[in-house]
Amino acid sequence: MKQRMCQSLNYRLPITELHVVAATLDPSQRNLNAVQEYLLERGMTAVDLLSGAIEQYVRDQEPPSTQQNPETADDDVRRWKRVKQNLLSKHTVPNIR
């Protein structure tokens, strides 16, 4: 009866590669029977599994270009200084002595 229930659960809630990768990365779940069985069934190690997942899910991306036109950068700085001075003039209390 337990085997039938287990087979039914495995059919309805199958363990996918992504589940095993997540469990392998979590130290508290690394030694679960389901993880070890999954790896044995496929004849692979956890390192093989994680290497394949990195190749499949992680892509090398170039960082966005952060270079700005120097003139545009100067304009931005001037605008922010002007806004800052404007706010300071509105919200500062004059010194009365």
Asked if residue 91 is part of any domain, the answer here is no
Asked if residue 74 is part of any domain, the answer here is no
- Convert 7-43 to b/e letters by CB count within 10 Å (16 or more is b): eeeeeeeeeeeeebbebbeeeeeeeeeebeebbeeee
Asked if residue 94 is part of any domain, the answer here is no
pLDDT greater at residue 85 or residue 66? 85
Q: State the pLDDT confidence band at 70, using cuts at 50, 70 and 90.
A: low
Asked if residue 21 is part of any domain, the answer here is yes
Asked if residue 72 is part of any domain, the answer here is no
Asked if residue 28 is part of any domain, the answer here is yes
How many structural domains is the chain composed of?
A: 1
Tell me the pTM. 0.52
| Amino acid 40: pLDDT | 93
Whole-angstrom Cα distance, residue 46 to residue 25?
Answer: 9
Task: Please return the burial class of 46, using the count of CB atoms within 10 Å of its CB with bins 0-12, 13-18 and 19+.
Answer: middle
Asked if residue 77 is part of any domain, the answer here is no
| Amino acid 63: pLDDT | 59
**Are residues 34 and 15 in contact, defined by beta-carbon separation less than 8 angstroms?**
yes
pLDDT tens-digit series, residues 31-69: 888 889 899 999 999 999 999 999 888 877 665 555 656
Domain coverage including residue 8? 2-57
| Amino acid 71: pLDDT | 67
